[in-house]
Amino acid sequence: MAMGFLRCLLAFGMTTLLASATIASERERINYLLHCSGCHQADGSGSPESGIPDMRGRIGHYLRLPEGRAYLVQVPGTSQSSLNDRDTATLLNWMVSTLSGKEVPADFAPYTRDEVTRLRGNPLADVSAARTQVITRLQQMGYRNE
């Protein structure tokens, strides 16, 4: 009887946990579709021939460098969207794990709202130079991105 009750409570707890996790990632997916997919495509493949990088299997590597981590926020598509800082942080956390989960380093600490606030206030002077610098550094470290 007591065990049955406990098991029931546990099952209920797990279901609630799973449901809230699903709803949270649904919100990120919708934000991605509304704010980013117009350029990046629903699957993150972009249009490399028109300067919109393929993010799949790549953006996780950027997290290995502080300047790469910052770049994913400072890039205009992220920093100039109409999403607030908290939604931007959770969107990026969802994006790196969804589009490039295998490349995300094991010690990755998720983006936070405060970090996004700080980086949005510190825009890149030259986006493509910043990107080239990060990619060159990653290639030197042995991570091929292109």
* Identity at 110, one-letter amino acid code: P
Q: How far is the CB of 135 from ligand HEC (least distance, A)?
A: 8
Q: How far is the CB of 77 from ligand HEC (least distance, A)?
A: 2
Map the footprint of ligand HEC across residues 94-133, applying CB under 6 A.
127-128, 131
Q: Which is nearer to ligand HEC, 65 or 75 (CB)?
A: 75
Query: Binding ligand HEC by CB under 6 A: which of 41, 57, 75, 112?
Result: 75
| Size of the residue set binding ligand HEC (CB under 6 A) | 22
| Beta carbons of 144 and 137 less than 8 angstroms apart | no
Q: How far is the CB of 6 from ligand HEC (least distance, A)?
A: 43
Q: How far is the CB of 16 from ligand HEC (least distance, A)?
A: 29
Residues 46, 55: Cα–Cα separation, whole Å: 7
**Which residues, in sequence order, are CB contacts of 98 under 8 Å at separation 6+?**
29, 44
Burial grade of 55 (CB within 10 A; 0-12, 13-18, 19 or more): buried
